[in-house]
Amino acid sequence: MRYLPLNQNDRAAMLDVIGVDNIDALFHNVPESARLKGLVDLPQHQSEHAVERHMAKLSAKSVSASSVPFFCGAGAYKHHIPATVDHLIQRSEFLTAYTPYQPEISQGTLQTLFEFQTQVALLTGMDVANASMYDGSTACAEAVVMAKRVTRKSKAILAPGLHPHYAAATQTLASTLDIQIDERDCRPGRDSHVIDHITDETACVVVQSPNVFGEIIDLAPIAEKAHAHKALLIAVFTEPVALGLIKSPGEQGADIVVGEGQGLGVGLNFGGPHVGLFACRQKLVRQMPGRVCGETVDANGDRGFVLTLSTREQHIRREKATSNICTNSGLCCLAFTIHMSLLGDAGLKQMAVLNHEYACHMADIIDGIQGAEVLNETFFNEFTVKLNKPAAEVVQQLADKGILGGVPVSRLTDGQDDLLLVCVTETSTDEDMHVFGEALAEILS
């Protein structure tokens, strides 16, 4: 987008219409301590060519994921995205950064949302899914709020293995809605203890699998205990490809399933935008936030699609809304849908198998290195490694050698400085893994 500067006359005209004397009056609600004093330290004038050269120089300081051996995950995953995905989403009738505000005028847009919902429901093993979430963390927070509406109870238990960013988003929203969040100790190997905290006061239990440490959690006994106390099990995932190989949360008794769809069709993109997935049992559909696209027939009996059950602020009165969500990244939904369609059931399973096989090979390499120990008993394509040195220092030394070697746990939560999350996908080659192993062995020796 081109920047179109305003002159003093433009600003004065706008302030006059708004009815304030100066720019500062527009921001009087922002605390003084949070306001920027003076101008940002940037040159007042530069040619376009000079700016382009400067930005290119800054960009060159970053190491791109595709240019070096790459083993980072922790909620955002690098997978091969077929060129067809990018080609199709850039068609002019689809290309928009937001959800189309009036999709009723476009049967094509409605059909893609319907297909997206269908794929999410099948992937998660649930009855229905919506098409409204920004990302996995906000979907998780919305699920907890929904559980409060359904159970009329206000206590939510977050499992220790829930991604810390998901927990933070949930706690932020819960703090405004009188929802009590159980304290948790974010460490590996502790998710099974969550079952001991479920009581008749519990509205929901939120469990991630594979969790942030890569551990695969058996959801069935947690669901059974939750249901015995009339609570809901909210299952969370950050890596959608894992569901191509792991038993779906719906088959394990989950009532609501939320997660991140970025791994399919959506690139890393420096952290966003992502695409949130949200699915639930049929009996809960009227409490589901966001909007749902349904299939129907028109007056001539021809197949058509319509928005239905759109109980969000944009469509109904605020006090009746199930969510304050007003839009999402619709183009990411489309990218997810196209990638899923290209893969099909067999393709997704094959992709998942490759991820797991490569990760097992990598875990074997690391376990053979003195000073490194793989902690996981189970994992899909990501696992936790205990090092004999601070993980952040090791990651920096690997980066100096041209290897992006994982995410230190200390970047996600306090403490646990010696833990490193390592992720391997189908994009990792055998050469990449051995280069990583040799470099890590040298650093830890």
The rounded average pLDDT for each run of 10 residues, N- to C-terminus, in the chain (445 residues) is: 77 92 88 88 90 93 90 97 95 74 73 95 97 92 96 96 96 92 86 93 97 97 98 98 97 98 94 92 93 90 87 67 71 95 97 98 97 97 98 97 96 94 97 97 96
| CB under 8 A, 24+ apart: contacts of 374-379 | 375/188, 375/189, 375/213, 375/419, 376/188, 376/213, 376/214, 376/215, 377/215, 378/215, 378/216, 379/210, 379/214, 379/215, 379/216
Q: Can you tell me the distance from the alpha carbon of 232 to that of 149, in angstroms, rounded to the nearest whole number? A: 11
pTM over 0.75: yes
Q: Can you tell me the distance from the alpha carbon of 55 to that of 46, in angstroms, rounded to the nearest whole number? A: 12
User: What pLDDT score was predicted for residue 82?
Assistant: 96
> What is the 3-state secondary structure of the chain?
CCCCCCCHHHHHHHHHHHCCCCHHHHCCCCCHHHCCCCCCCCCCCCCHHHHHHHHHHHHCCCCCCCCCCECCCCCCCCCCCCHHHHHHHCCCCCCCCCCCCCHHHCHHHHHHHHHHHHHHHHHHCCCEECCCECCHHHHHHHHHHHHHHHHCCCEEEECCCCCHHHHHHHHHHHCCCCCEECCCCCCCCCHHHHHHHCCCCEEEEEEECCCCCCCCCCCHHHHHHHHHCCCEEEEEECCHHHHHCCCCCHHHCCCEEEEECCCCCCCCHHHCCCCEEEEECHHHHHHCCCCEEEEEECCCCCEEEEEECCCCCCCCCHHHCCCCCCCCCHHHHHHHHHHHHHHHHHHHHHHHHHHHHHHHHHHHHHHCCCCEEECCCCCCCEEEEEECCCHHHHHHHHHHCCCECCEEHHHCCCCCCCEEEEECCCCCCHHHHHHHHHHHHHHHC
Q: Can you tell me the distance from the alpha carbon of 226 to that of 236, in angstroms, rounded to the nearest whole number? A: 16
User: What pLDDT score was predicted for residue 314?
Assistant: 63
Angle (CA) 232-237-239 rounded to 5° is 165
Q: Can you tell me the distance from the alpha carbon of 209 to that of 429, in angstroms, rounded to the nearest whole number? A: 26
Cα 127 to its chain centre, rounded Å, is 21
* Residue 275 tokens, joined: 């695409």
Of 347, 339, 352, nearest to 245 by C-alpha is 352
420 and 384 Cβ atoms separated by less than 8 Å = yes
The label of the residue with tokens 């695409």 reads 275
Of 404, 410, 422, nearest to 366 by C-alpha is 422
Q: Can you tell me the distance from the alpha carbon of 105 to that of 124, in angstroms, rounded to the nearest whole number? A: 30
User: What pLDDT score was predicted for residue 137?
Assistant: 96
